[in-house]
Structure 1
């Protein structure tokens, strides 16, 4: 399903610049990725952007989603809406992550199919790959081994979304594509203690420790796992690039092509926030996947590479976090918004 079914693909489409005057629906436009995509589309001149907050539209409500598409008939769609969370949230609420994400995806993709959306980009996650996939991970590694147990339910939902996109291409001939981002961060991230991913969790922890002058900070695991981090603004730029430069049944990895250990990123964050205390590691807590580095050769072959360095991106994210903390607008949402 990762490219072996090319002979069944019915799409005949030559990627080209999208119509800036067409209606463009961003599902999940208030989340980390969706808000960055919205900003990127605005800067690119798209004048008819469509978005709904979770208070305005529940994407698990099938009839409501169909009504939105019936009323606005978007020509382009990016599916950035999802229920997301870190290791603890995924391990504690696997039913929620599986059920909600499946319903969101099926509703949006079915509605897009019913109203023949011309161009659609479905966003997944690098956790779709086997826990012990050879590094760096190529797109063809999908479904070749066991998933990471701490987020397998979320991964299965995202895998189902990839297959639905491929099935639409085979059955209906619509030029829909999928992209699999690596670990993302940036303005608008979820910094809540219980639901955040590793990088925003570390930013919050070290910033609070710096403010209180705590003698030490304790992080989960050993700090040895290696992770790849991509700024959300780079991800948004890659999304528009793929919509205008790539078509094919195979999903595309989106990342930087380089990784760091959790210990290294923790030290970088400590330096950015000005924390000078000691870092301790709680080895009774899980590490998660030992390494997760994406092979981005397919993406680079289309002419795109990341441009925001990790230290630069962390500095701007810390600045946004501190500003949002002062104004009381820091997000604690699960990014299920429409």
Structure 2
């Protein structure tokens, strides 16, 4: 990409898309375009095709998606599979038809098999059953990865894919019902501290192991891949480091300064027992994460205090 290349970031208001915009701007890219949902409905094929025809983007970061935590995925599976399939089908097909130079599609490590060997290598995709609590989302995202692969294979389109691990940071969703575990815990501990509560409830047993990546690190990796990778195989983006949900809760508790107790609600689902990625391929390409979990939680909490109260 040149500094004046026309770059479309789909989903620029979300956690992922906004971080990609920040990363591009910090690196001196000056011709970044985006649209709000009101301006461009990505589930509408005609609107998407009109946008590509008029704007003629050269590069596309496909970060737009309907996302949510275990609870949201359980309650709204039809919306998760429909909206994500429509968004990615429309954008990828338009990118092909209007001959863009390169597209990066973002998957998620939650679409790997539930009982995949650990740590998870890229080639473990589609080797086992999915986690039931996010199956609809996973099926849609797998279709996107495969679509990029087959468009590259059949037409020679330079469509690549990456698989970020659990992300957090600015513009995250901190809603207690529909967010992921880390932002939900930040909000829970903050509200407990403000209200002088004596306990904070954590869903599940606290034993599942998870990997967390600060979203600005993820965005830096996406720009790096757009400039340095052209392979058919998707690439994991992560830290290669894991913590239990209990350890995560204890870290957030310390950062926020909550002095009460933790209570684990074992009636709520745990999800996948363990999910750690192998990031050897990305590291060999020359990229490694910079922000530690403790530092990232501090940054995320600072953003929450400024933006969400």
Which residue of 2 is the match for residue 10 of structure 1? none
User: Is the aligned partner of 1:171 residue 2:154?
Assistant: yes
Q: Which residue is equivalent to 2:233?
A: 250
Instruction: Supply the distance in 1 between the matched residues of 2:126 and 2:184 (Cα, whole angstroms).
Output: 30
Instruction: Say if 2:276 is the partner of 1:293.
Output: yes
* Structure 1 stretches of 4+ moved >2 Å: none
Are residues 1:318 and 2:301 paired?
Answer: yes
Q: What secondary structure does 1:137 align onto?
A: coil
Matched, 1:161 2:144: yes
- Which position in structure 2 is the counterpart of 1:274? 257
Matched residues in 2 for 1:323 and 1:119: separation?
Answer: 36
What TM-score do you get using the length of structure 1 for normalisation?
A: 0.91
- What is the aligned partner in structure 1 of residue 84 from structure 2? 101
**What corresponds to 2:100 in structure 1?**
117
1:1-338 alignment to 2 at 5 Å? 18-326=1-309
The Cα shift of 1:94 comes to 0.6
User: Which protein has greater RCO, CA pairs closer than 8 Å, 6+ apart?
Assistant: 1
Corresponding residue SS for 1:288: coil
Helix, strand or coil at the partner of 1:26: strand
1:22 Cα offset (Å): 1.3
Equivalenced residue count is 309
How far residue 177 of structure 1 moved from its aligned partner, in angstroms, is 0.4
**Per-residue deviation, 1:64:** 0.6
Normalized against structure 2, the TM-score is what? 0.99
Distance of 1:78 and 1:240 partners within structure 2? 9
Deviations 1:178-216 (A, max 9, x none): 000000000000011221001000000000001111010
Q: Distance in 1 between matches of 2:27 and 2:306?
A: 26
Q: Distance in 1 between matches of 2:177 and 2:244?
A: 22
Q: Give me the whole-angstrom Cα distance separating, in 1, the residues matched to 2:157 and 2:3.
A: 20
2: CA distance, partners of 1:255 / 1:22: 27
Deviations 1:232-273 (A, max 9, x none): 100000001111111111000000000000000100000111
CA-CA distance at 1:325 after TM superposition: 2.5
3-state SS in 2 of match to 1:264: helix
Quick one: distance in 1 between partners of 2:94 and 2:46? 9
Alignment RMSD (CA, Å): 0.7
C-alpha distance in 2, partners of 1:246/1:56? 31
SS in 1 for 2:308: helix
**Could you tell me which residue of structure 2 aligns to residue 3 of structure 1?**
none
Distance (Å, rounded) in 2 between the aligned partners of 1:219 and 1:126: 22
**In 1, Cα distance between the equivalents of 2:38 and 2:181?**
27
